[in-house]
Amino acid sequence: MLRTELCDLVGIEYPIFQGGMARISDGILAAAVSEAGGLGIVSAASGDVDQIAAELDAAKQRTSKPIGVNVMLRGDNLDAIAQLIADKKPAVVTTGAGNPEKYMEMWKNAGIKVIPVVASTTYAKLFERAGADAVIAEGGESGGHIGELNTMALVPQVCDAVSIPVIAAGGIADGRGAAAALMLGACGIQIGTRFLLAEECSIARAYKDKVLKANDASTIVTGRRLGHPVRSIKSKFSREYARIEYTSIGDDELEQFAVGSLPAAVSGDEGHGCFLAGQISGLCKKEQPSAEIVREICEEAEALLLGGKKWVK
Amino acid sequence: MLRTELCDLVGIEYPIFQGGMARISDGILAAAVSEAGGLGIVSAASGDVDQIAAELDAAKQRTSKPIGVNVMLRGDNLDAIAQLIADKKPAVVTTGAGNPEKYMEMWKNAGIKVIPVVASTTYAKLFERAGADAVIAEGGESGGHIGELNTMALVPQVCDAVSIPVIAAGGIADGRGAAAALMLGACGIQIGTRFLLAEECSIARAYKDKVLKANDASTIVTGRRLGHPVRSIKSKFSREYARIEYTSIGDDELEQFAVGSLPAAVSGDEGHGCFLAGQISGLCKKEQPSAEIVREICEEAEALLLGGKKWVK
């Protein structure tokens, strides 16, 4: 069975994290992934302390296994959310969009493993010095907010830059990607897009259909002009954003155009929805229980890893 | 020793292609890589039939092992170059920037394996139908002209889309990347950037120094506005191009700004040079003979592939 040092660090059976997708990764999805032996991660992106507490409680009612929470270090209410996390004591907190140093001591004193998402060696080294237990090196293949570097080039460079464990993310949806990530030096993977098709994922039918119908050319990056590039599946909204992005439209108006587009996607609004998903959508072809997703990825990766000698003669 | 079906298809010892880098990959570099057991590839991007013939002859004088040639299917003189290739009969022709169908029969009748570079499943399927012997799936990590998809997401999707062999390119410079590519379903790798540091590569000192000093954040993509994105190491030229790209400058003037920037880089002109290189530059830390590069990559990949069982308990 697929097992790395990440399993021991976090207390999980398989080295697979389910990405904390804003407004999508709730307690039900996270619990299903954790019950399956991976690490389910609740998103705290709503910014609403009571709602985050409710999702963490919902997850804990469904599983006694470790649960994670993902915090975007941007926006209001961060101190209250950080305190809630310290009180709720999930096994792991993953962070994005900022420096977790301010909350590091509080979280670590609560026994929580702190694992920031990074898109460069610079931030990997910075967060290692700040006390991170591991980092998630996420390439630009992924859905949602992306950096400049891609997984194949980012992961080995981050592995060389830090001595804490590295988890690979971006462009991974099956056992091939998992085995490749281990070869690159990672000790685990984080998967978002494929879990959009988990039976326990509550996004609207229209969102799941977009992932199911996607091919390799179905995603688009918008938002580079404002410094916040985002990858989503091509849609009425994203095509229109791309069309106006490099016109004379003002920054404020452009930003305003995107307001509400993520909740719109989650509820299936094809007119204004921004359907975040990664380049690997084209490989995600069926809806399955989370447990089946975790099991398939592990079995495929195990077979590849045990069969590596076929290429050495 | 590292060996896949690609070795049998092309008649080489190790499944490593040296990318055909425009104005850089000459007969001396190609011969050194082929002598080392990989496939050296001469670039035909100069467009000058006599010069291409001379480089192919130079390679053949230095090695009796298979040699390849890379043709960009754009620009003048294509029919004459295609005919020269049919006459010279290299083992392999790799193609970029267009559809090789027009020359497929002529080349295949000459006993040449035709292996197009693709950046999507659509072109992979199109070229398979046209008779390609294999495809090189190149992710946007790579230097030079790039597509939209990244290696980690592109390679498995291309592998699923075609039944001919797939070679992975983009973001690969060591045995970790080679082993990862095989896990993704590829049967070999193509490497450009690391061969810029081969002792047999004749680019100017300033170009090699830029690669040696690069870190993971050192490359930049320019040219998206004109539909021809190109990755290079940040330089006076590329920063200035990026600055003016989304100003009101006209398309013609923007295109004119870049004329001559590649030969300028090759000759070490830091003012106007566009120093093409991939995101993996940060991993390329020393100048070595080509034979040492090939051997190091193979040995590292072999050890990883034979050790895969350590992750299965």
Q: What is the pLDDT along chain B (313 residues), one digit of tens a residue?
A: 999 999 999 999 999 999 999 999 999 999 999 999 999 999 999 889 999 999 999 999 999 999 999 999 988 899 999 999 999 999 999 999 889 999 999 999 999 999 999 999 999 999 999 999 999 999 999 999 999 999 999 999 999 999 999 999 999 999 999 999 999 999 999 999 999 999 999 999 999 999 999 999 999 999 988 989 999 999 999 999 999 998 889 999 999 999 999 999 999 999 999 999 999 999 999 999 999 999 999 999 999 999 999 999 8
CA distance A295 to A302: 10
Name every residue whose Cβ is closer than 8 Å to that of residue A76 and which is 6 or more positions away in sequence: A47
Element at B70 (helix H, strand E): strand B67-72
Quote the minimal CA–CA distance from B97 to chain A in Å.
Answer: 17
Judging contacts by C-beta atoms under 8 Å, the chain B residues touching residue A120 are: 216-217
Measured between CA atoms, the residue of chain A closest to residue B143 is A153
Is any Cβ of chain B less than 8 angstroms from the Cβ of A246? yes
pLDDT at B75: 82
CA distance B286 to B189: 20
Is any Cβ of chain A less than 8 angstroms from the Cβ of B180? yes
What is the share, in percent, of chain A residues with pLDDT greater than 70?
Answer: 100
Q: Where are the alpha helices (DSSP H) in chain B?
A: 5-10, 27-35, 49-62, 78-88, 101-109, 121-129, 151-161, 175-183, 193-196, 205-213, 236-245, 251-258, 261-266, 290-306
Measured between CA atoms, the residue of chain A closest to residue B304 is A183
Secondary-structure percent of chain B, ordered helix, strand, coil, rounded to 5: 45, 15, 40
Quote the minimal CA–CA distance from B32 to chain A in Å.
Answer: 23
Judging contacts by C-beta atoms under 8 Å, the chain A residues touching residue B149 are: 141, 216-217, 279
Q: Where are the alpha helices (DSSP H) in B145-235?
A: 151-161, 175-183, 193-196, 205-213
Judging by DSSP bridges, how do beta strands B219-222 and B188-191 pair with one another?
unpaired
Measured between CA atoms, the residue of chain B closest to residue A2 is B312
Q: What is the pTM assigned to this prediction?
A: 0.96
Is any Cβ of chain B less than 8 angstroms from the Cβ of A122? yes
* Chain B interface, best mutation among A152, A211, A222, by max B CB count within 10 A: A152
CA distance A85 to A52: 9
pLDDT at B247: 85
C-alpha A184: how far from chain center: 19
Is any Cβ of chain A less than 8 angstroms from the Cβ of B37? no
pLDDT at B76: 82
Is any Cβ of chain B less than 8 angstroms from the Cβ of A298? no
Categorize the per-residue pLDDT at A248 as very low, low, confident or very high, splitting at 50, 70 and 90.
confident
Global ipTM: 0.96
Question: What is the full DSSP assignment across A112-159?
Answer: -EEEEEESSHHHHHHHHHTT-S-EEEE-TTSSEE--SS-HHHHHHHHH
The minimal CB distance from A174 to the residues B156, B158, B215 is found for B156
Closest CA to A22 of A269, A192, A191, A140: A192
Closest CA to B279 of A182, A141, A163, A218: A141
Is any Cβ of chain B less than 8 angstroms from the Cβ of A306? yes
Structure confidence by residue, pLDDT tens digits, A69-97: 999 998 889 999 999 999 999 999 999 98
Is any Cβ of chain A less than 8 angstroms from the Cβ of B280? yes
pLDDT at A47: 84
> Does the beta-carbon distance from A152 to B217 stay under 8 Å?
no
Element at B71 (helix H, strand E): strand B67-72
